[in-house]
Structure 1
Amino acid sequence: MARRSWRIDRALTALAVSSVLVGAALVGAGPASGAQRARTIAPSVLYSEFDISAAKGVARAHLLTVDLRNPQVRVGLLHPQAVAARATVSRLADAQRAVAGVNGDFFDITESEHPGVAVTGASDGPAIADGRPLKAAVPNGQRFGPVLPPGTSTKDVLGVGTDRTARLDRLTLSGSVSTPQGRLKLGGLNQFALPQGSIGAYTSDWGSVSRRWATCGTDSDRAAPCSKDTYEVTVRKGRIVATAARPGSGPIAAGTTVLVGREAGARTLRGLSEGERAQVQHRLVATTSRVRYSFAVGGFPVLRHGAPLPGLDATTSAVRTAVGITDSGHRLLLLALDGGPRYRGGLTVAEVASVLGKLGATDGFNLDGGGSTTMVTRASKARAASVRNHPSKGAQRPVPNGIGVFSTL
């Protein structure tokens, strides 16, 4: 094993150094212009930083290179104890003892559209942690973040399967409620927004934040008024134990599912009665592969099979976090930029795709950016992770999830 690990690390070091030199080439100069040699964070996990020449100025980039072929290294979802909760990337990494990490998906961040309705902090897209689905995707029109590239969806994910191979995929909710009145289709799982006319399931993974937000807005307009036609049913041990006219709040006990309906979904739930049997089942189904995912996080693709997606924004420059997949899914490139005027410019989404391609990625995925962009690493003997980049607001923003890098060595 030691000889195999040494070979992997040597090959990875060569890749990381070549990535640094590519970064230097992007500013039209050699390594002395800002590129630095890679530093080992853990076996098969390397960190480097370099400058990128972009349309709005020079951007400072931070790169983690992770070799998934090393069985002692893995990536997983950084997340708080609840879907509707947030914490800084460093706190999430410390809690889960990750050796490195970056922020993840876009998320519910403002209450301006619906005063008086609590901000959930929950992410837009699907999330899987340790093989367990935590949530499904909100409707496209309800998401937070920049405009999606044509043909993409809130269901798009970056995932790593049980085969330890990274892929871009799309995860769709498949769920139902078996009742005496028939089988009811689920339209949501632990989401901050439900499709119009649907029924959503909320479990102990959701947290204690009010579920009312899920019935606000429409499939095409996040700012539309909250629905006045709602209903809630609580299922425990296969039976309906409570009903309510409005979505509630507070923690949900393990083994309990709360069903929230809006419009047609609410009218269907009103036909159920306390004491009746009800069996809830749900799973996330991959649409472009048959792999079982151990980890998945939302965002949107920008690079497929070595080519940028058509229609990527080439105008708006911002601080970005992104992931590149290379070496047939066996390596991940986690990229985060410095923020704030002191640390120069950002990248457009089109430039993100270009940079990932020049770093050797065949597929690329854009994550939340701006004030959320954060990269952390933890030295082998350190108790706490250190922030590597400079967050835009001068401090880390609490986020709902991230990508963690873990090592058993």
Structure 2
Amino acid sequence: MLGFVVATVVPSWTTASASASAGAAAVGRAGVEKPSEVVAPGVGYRAFTVRTSHGSARVHLVTVDLGRRGARAGLLYPGGVAVREKVSVMAAEQGAVAAINGDFFDIEESQHPGVQSTGATSGPAVLAGRPLKGAVPDGQRFGWPLPAGGSTQDVVGIGTDGLARTARLALQGRIRTAHAVLPLRGLNQYALPVGSIGAFTPNWGEASRARAACGTDDDRAAPCTPNTYEVTVRNGIVRSVARAPGSGRIPAGTVVLLGREAGADALRALTPGTAVRLDYHFSSTSRVPLASALGSHPIVQHRRALPGLDKAVAEPRSAVGIAAGGRIMRLLSTDGREGTSSGLTVSELANLLAALGCDEGAYLDGGASATLATRDHTGRIVVRNALDHGAERPVPNGLAIYSR
């Protein structure tokens, strides 16, 4: 159990109505040790300590009033799905006033010798209202075990109304020719479902696409299939074909279709000169279209921690909390592995978000990826939490906060 008491905190940067809607905030037994900092209008930062059965954990918290004019949130994106960059660098380059790391991703592994890791995330992503990438099969994801009912299709996002929300996004797509309609089951993914066809767009980056044909829907470590086929489509016409997945930059106006097993067999019917039409979108559980989104894993619903969350392993953690009908967003990251902070278990993290008044909460990547950065009083972007081994790990995406 977390050893914290619940007290009402009214940050100086919020309006009276926003602070009332945000609900109670959790602080350590020693109280909030650092007063709130105004990062920007509608955006505040504070740090505090909570005591647990395994030691104390240092918590860093950014709270955003998305209902305030000029305050907004969006996807922190390094310019390619298979590209990684430091949170602080992306935030500075994109004019954000605060940012946190995002989804779990395909990190270096030795399960498929000779196959390059891509650095791409496991879950879906939406950029500027358009699908950026789809979700890998559940058995192919990296990170902690999915809770009961969880899926790699789960996301946290910002609707076209500017408010935060959680949702589930499923890719729906078709490849149409004069003679056939083929299902599209992947978009810029480091792993494709067995027997499927996936599309890679210029948003993918330059990384090899070979990893997409490795593993199975249930086993990330399963061997790569030798039955693959690629079709390069430019301006709606098949230009070239290849037996093996390729790499390198995909030019504008070009899409590479990669099939594995039955998907590869189906693509062999597409010869150079064939006209191809590609259509895809996300089906969403959100009633409001999402302007941006990234993969995450629900751990709080209706201001209660979900059952079955891990209570044993304390690590640095990053998470997002949502309150006041999506108007209040909380970005939270903890210290751990360095100094005296123990980090939190996933169960403790969920209980903390609930005590902070969050109606919904979602877990992001943790460990060495856990990074929370904000603008300081000089206008520079600085990392607030203590990093693993003191080094900021490049990550493929995150959440960014902007304020005029």
Superposition TM-score tier, normalisation by shorter sequence: over 0.9
1:122 maps onto 2:120 in alignment: yes
What is the match of residue 27 of structure 2?
23
TM-score of the two chains, using structure 1 as the length reference: 0.93
Which of 248, 254, 273 matches 1:256?
254
For residues 176 and 357 of structure 2, what CA distance do their matches in structure 1 show?
48
Q: Tell me: CA distance 1:15–1:342, structure 2 relative to 1, closer, same or farther (3 Å).
A: farther
Aligned to 1:246: 244
Once residues 280 and 49 of structure 1 are traced to their aligned partners in structure 2, the CA distance between those partners, rounded to angstroms, is: 48
Question: Match for 2:332 among 332, 335, 341?
Answer: 335
The residue that corresponds to 2:138 in the other structure is 140
Separation in structure 1 between the aligned mates of residue 280 and residue 52 of structure 2, nearest angstrom: 44
> Do 2:61 and 2:333's aligned partners in 1 also have CA atoms closer than 8 Å?
yes
| Structure 2: distance between partners of 1:348 and 1:379 | 29
Deviation at 1:30, TM superposition (A): 3.4
Distance 2:403 2:294 in 1: 20
Letter in 1 for 2:31: G
Distance in structure 2 (CA, Å) of the matches to 1:151 and 1:164:
28
* Residue aligned with 1:393, SS: helix
Query: Structure 1, unaligned stretches of length 5 or more?
Result: 1-5
Cα deviations by residue, 1:146-192 (Å, 9 ceiling, x for unpaired): 00110010000001100112111100001111012211111100000
- Residue 398 of structure 1 corresponds to 394
State the Cα distance separating 1:339 from its structure 2 match: 2.5
Q: Which residue identity lines up with residue 342 of structure 1 in the other structure? A: G
Q: Distance in 1 between matches of 2:214 and 2:147?
A: 25
Given residue 395 of structure 2, which amino acid in structure 1 is its aligned partner?
V
CA distance in 2, matches of 1:397, 1:95: 17
Deviation, 1:380, is 6.6
Alpha-carbon RMSD across the aligned residues, in angstroms, is 1.7
Q: Determine the structure 2 residue equivalent to 1:236.
A: 234
- Aligned twin of 2:323: 326
Contact 1:104 1:299 in 2 (8 A): yes
1:303-382 aligned within 5 A = 303-379=300-376, 382=379
CA positional deviation for 1:90: 0.4
Measure the CA separation in 2 of the matches of 1:340 and 1:348: 13
The structure in which a higher percent of residues are helix is 1
Task: Provide the rounded CA distance (Å) in 2 between the counterparts of 1:180 and 1:17.
Answer: 58
Whole-angstrom distance in 2 between the partners of 1:375 and 1:203: 30
Q: Does the 8 A contact of 1:162 with 1:293 survive in 2? A: yes
Q: Output the CA distance in 2 between the equivalents of 1:180 and 1:78.
A: 39
Q: Figure out how many residues of one structure are paired with residues of the other and give that number.
A: 393
Bigger drift between 118-127 and 6-15 goes to 6-15
Aligned to 1:386: 382
Indicate conservation of the 8 Å contact 2:22/2:358, yes or no. Answer: no
Match in the other structure for 1:276? 274
Partners of 1:7 and 1:406 in 2: CA distance:
15
Amino acid at match of 2:46: S
In 2 relative to 1, CA 49–9 (structure 1 residues): closer, same or farther, beyond 3 Å? same
Percent sequence identity is 50
Q: Which moved more, 1:394-403 or 1:107-116?
A: 107-116
Mean Cα displacement is larger for which, 6-15 or 258-267?
Answer: 6-15
Contact in 1 for aligned 2:375/2:382 (Cα 8 Å): yes
Whether the 8 Å contact between 1:16 and 1:48 is mirrored in structure 2 is no
Could you list the runs of 4 or more consecutive aligned residues of structure 1 that deviate by over 2 angstroms after TM superposition?
6-19, 28-31, 379-382
Q: Measure how far apart 1:71 and its partner are.
A: 2.8
* TM-score, normalised via structure 2 length: 0.94
User: SS of 1:354's equivalent?
Assistant: helix
How far apart are the structure 1 equivalents of 2:172 and 2:56? 45
Q: 1:82 & 1:283 partners in 2: Cα distance?
A: 19
CA distance in 2, matches of 1:15, 1:394: 37
Secondary structure of 2:348's match? helix
Is 1:55–1:347's contact at 8 Å kept on the other side of the alignment?
no
Contact 2:60 2:334 in 1 (8 A): yes
Match for residue 148 of structure 2?
150
**Hey, what's the Cα distance between the residues in 1 that align with 2:90 and 2:340?**
25
The reply on whether 1:42 has 2:40 as its aligned counterpart is yes
Distance 1:7 1:354, change over 3 A: closer
Q: C-alpha separation between the residues in 2 aligned to 1:311 and 1:122?
A: 28
Q: 2:191 aligns with which of 180, 190, 193?
A: 193
Q: Write the deviation string for residues 185-221 of structure 1: whole angstroms up to 9, x where unpaired.
A: 1110000000000000000000010001000011111
Q: 1:369 to 1:64 in 2, by over 3 A?
A: same
SS at match of 1:120: coil
